[in-house]
Chain A
Amino acid sequence: MTTTAPAGKPVGKVPADEMERLRRRYGRRHVAARCGVYGAAVTAALLCALPFLWSVISAFKQNQDLYNPESNPFFFNMPATPDHVTFLFTDTPFLTFVVNTLIVGAAVVAITLALALPAAYSLARLDRPWGTPMGIAIFMVYLVPPSLLFLSLTRVVVALHLENTLWSMIVVYPTITVPVSVWLLIGFLKAVPKDVEEQAMVDGYSRLGAFLRAVMPLVFPGIVAVVVFSFTLTSSEFVYALAFVSSSPEMVISTGVPTQLIRGDVFFWQSLQASAVITAVPIAFLFNLFLDRFVTGFTMGAVKT
């Protein structure tokens, strides 16, 4: 993209000294652009990650070091200690929260895909007159905030005897993820040229076969985006999880850590920081992996066949 190699341009009738001047100008401009890009990238990374960087340092600090307003918060003024991190794993139910989060996330993602993929295809491709209004209607569902619904949903959950179980979250979270996923998938499906499945159908596939064999591989980056998106939404949901589950062994990370690691005014600060980093890093890692594939997939999709 940034290879504005002036040497590659057709020379034409430009005199030699003029060429040389231009080449130097473009060269200088190129260097300046590279510096700008690196500067911007480093700034962005620091702005986003600084709180986490700082969390990592403070998670390993001794109490006297951490609770001293004069000590430099970016360095270890006393020897580092892993005590608070081991405390997190041995003396708190943190690992239970992690497992619960993974179970809920996987189940919700599965339900979301099973519901949203056919719905999105129906709305994006089957050209019903009600397609567009229905798509907007489904998306509007996302606008109904959890803070409005959780009172009545708690009643529903109790009526279904799901309170204090992971199932309460598995059943309710798709109401958040499905509308967004349908919306995103409609966008991805519309980006695939219609000729793709028309060709497949001319070749003898049924509508369903064309969808599964020709369209699905092309929207795969979109599906991955939806999976990651749903999982992230699920793992960071707070209000429902707080309202439905009050027993510690059934809690997920987002509610378990703030409620079980903060006892009244006693904050286990180092352990809290450690838990934030330990949760953040794998999810971001996963997201980044998928993002890469999602991005390359999208570039391939943008190339008109």
Chain B
Amino acid sequence: MTDVKTEAEPVEAGGRRERPKVGLADRDGFLAWVMLLPSVVYIIALVGIPFLLAIAFAFSDVTTGDPSFDFVGFANFGDVFDDRVFWRSLRNTLVFTVISMLLIVVFGKILANILVADFRGKWFVRFLVLLPWTTPVALSTVSWLWFLDSIFSPVDWVLRNVGLIDANVVWLGQPGTAMASVIAVHVWRLTPLAAVIVMAGLIAIPKDLDEAARIDGAGFWRRMFEVTIPLTMPVIAVAALFGAILTFTDMTVPYVLTRGGPTHSTDVLASWAYFRGIEGGDVGQGAAIALFLFPLLLAAAVAILRAVRRLEAR
């Protein structure tokens, strides 16, 4: 809306000429760097350098037992590609991410709509809704571990008493249900975050737009799909971006819930890298697997950022 071209420069320059002194802090270029520099230095020192180090590890034979650095070229990548578990975990990662992200965005949008509506006891409902996301993930996943226990699971208890099943499902013991459980826990955990992001966008919509649509006779669904959703699309894209990133790089839920099992059916790239690099002790291979997260994430992020910019430009 506000065109970037209409800059403040002429006004500022005019205002400045009348003032006798121009401090260093008034020079935009200098100020911009001074304000930005601490963050950049911090990030380069603690992300940039370790990142390069991690790339170096991927081309080395470093193990936890023998930390001396020897260059081995693409040997680690060759080993990783020959390993069927890697392809399995890559596929799992994609399934896990795509399904989780779709569900997180849809549920997040629904939840955001509920949270902006007016009703009694809203504060309490919000509090309950926020619980999954604000709880440290390792703790809530431990709770779920018991929730899906092979013998004492209350989910199974309910299903048994309703009469839907005769014996326990053993959610975490079969490939299909284990994956479904991991996705369910993850979606349950991240939906409130997506809802909060979308909510911020919903509230920023000028009220008169909604009222205008209402006066023109647009019903709830029509306003939803022709006013609210188009206007909040950038925010929804941001929520999707967060969902994708937090899902792609997450290993806590599969790690705590299933340890990648049964037989690697819930192993994702991050957890497989951890098992290889830490528990297997092969730092080089672990780093090579983990490196795969980066280009895939980059592609996803660029795609979504483009979508956002196209929407903003419209």
Which A positions have Cβ atoms within 8 angstroms of B? 1-2, 4, 33-34, 37-38, 40-42, 44-45, 47-49, 51-52, 54-55, 58, 66-69, 72-74, 114-116, 118-119, 121-123, 126-128, 131, 134, 136, 138-149, 151-153, 155-156, 171-172, 174-175, 178-179, 182, 187, 191, 193-194, 198, 201-202, 204, 206-208, 225, 232, 235-236, 238-239, 253-255, 257-258, 262, 267, 269, 272-273, 275-276, 279-281, 283-285, 287-288, 291-292, 294-295, 298-299, 301-302, 304
B12 within 8 A of A: yes
The stretch among B23-31, B80-88, B259-267 that forms the contact with chain A is B23-31
A residues less than 8 Å from B29 (CB atoms): 126, 128
A residues less than 8 Å from B57 (CB atoms): 151-152
B256 within 8 A of A: yes
B53 within 8 A of A: yes
Inter-subunit contact A194/B8 (CB<8 Å) = yes
Inter-subunit contact B51/A148 (CB<8 Å) = yes
Total number of residue pairs linking A and B with CB closer than 8 Å? 293
Inter-subunit contact B23/A37 (CB<8 Å) = no
Least CB distance, B184 to chain A, in whole angstroms: 11
B177 within 8 A of A: no
A residues less than 8 Å from B192 (CB atoms): 48
B residues less than 8 Å from A123 (CB atoms): 36
Q: A69-B157, A153-B46 are in contact. Are A235 and B136 (CB under 8 A)?
A: yes
B residues less than 8 Å from A275 (CB atoms): 139
Inter-subunit contact A284/B131 (CB<8 Å) = yes
Q: A54-B147, A174-B42, A284-B127 are in contact. Are A279 and B139 (CB under 8 A)?
A: yes
A134 to B111, CA, bound (A): 33
Inter-subunit contact B196/A291 (CB<8 Å) = yes
Inter-subunit contact A255/B39 (CB<8 Å) = no
Inter-subunit contact B204/A302 (CB<8 Å) = yes
B residues less than 8 Å from A155 (CB atoms): 50, 53
A281 to B134, CA, bound (A): 9
A4 to B217, CA, bound (A): 12
A residues less than 8 Å from B207 (CB atoms): 1
A292 to B298, CA, bound (A): 34
**A55-B143, A194-B8, A302-B203 known, 9 other contacts, Cβ within 8 Å:** A2-B118, A41-B122, A115-B38, A128-B29, A140-B298, A147-B273, A201-B8, A298-B200, A302-B205
A111 to B66, CA, bound (A): 36
A residues less than 8 Å from B49 (CB atoms): 152, 156
Q: Name which residue of chain A comes closest to B248, CB basis.
A: A145
Inter-subunit contact A288/B130 (CB<8 Å) = yes
A74 to B118, CA, bound (A): 31
Least CB distance, A251 to chain B, in whole angstroms: 11
Inter-subunit contact A66/B152 (CB<8 Å) = yes
Inter-subunit contact B36/A118 (CB<8 Å) = yes
Least CB distance, A276 to chain B, in whole angstroms: 4
Q: A272-B142, A285-B127, A291-B126 are in contact. Are A148 and B152 (CB under 8 A)?
A: no
Q: Which of A38, A153, A298 contacts B119 (CB 8 A)?
A: A38
Inter-subunit contact B47/A141 (CB<8 Å) = yes
Inter-subunit contact A140/B290 (CB<8 Å) = no
Inter-subunit contact A151/B277 (CB<8 Å) = yes
Cβ contacts B37-59/A at 8 Å (1 or 0 each)? 01110110011011101100100
A47 to B187, CA, bound (A): 11
A287 to B128, CA, bound (A): 11
Inter-subunit contact A151/B283 (CB<8 Å) = yes
B residues less than 8 Å from A239 (CB atoms): 251-252, 274
Q: A48-B132, A151-B277 are in contact. Are A140 and B32 (CB under 8 A)?
A: no
Inter-subunit contact B42/A175 (CB<8 Å) = yes
B residues less than 8 Å from A140 (CB atoms): 298, 301
A residues less than 8 Å from B291 (CB atoms): 148
Least CB distance, A260 to chain B, in whole angstroms: 12
B residues less than 8 Å from A171 (CB atoms): 46
Q: Name which residue of chain A comes closest to B28, CB basis.
A: A126
Inter-subunit contact A253/B136 (CB<8 Å) = yes
Among B25, B251, B290, chain A packs the most CB atoms within 10 A around the CB of: B290
Q: A151-B287, A152-B50, A287-B134 are in contact. Are A298 and B147 (CB under 8 A)?
A: no
A155 to B69, CA, bound (A): 13
A3 to B123, CA, bound (A): 20
Q: Name which residue of chain B comes closest to A269, CB basis.
A: B146
A residues less than 8 Å from B210 (CB atoms): 1
Inter-subunit contact A151/B136 (CB<8 Å) = no
A153 to B273, CA, bound (A): 16
Q: A44-B114, A44-B129, A142-B245 are in contact. Are A67 and B152 (CB under 8 A)?
A: yes
Sorted nearest first, the 7 A-B pairs with minimum C-beta distance are A145-B249, A118-B35, A73-B154, A152-B53, A280-B135, A122-B35, A49-B128
A171 to B42, CA, bound (A): 10
A residues less than 8 Å from B157 (CB atoms): 69, 72-73
Least CB distance, B22 to chain A, in whole angstroms: 9
Inter-subunit contact A288/B127 (CB<8 Å) = yes
A302 to B210, CA, bound (A): 14
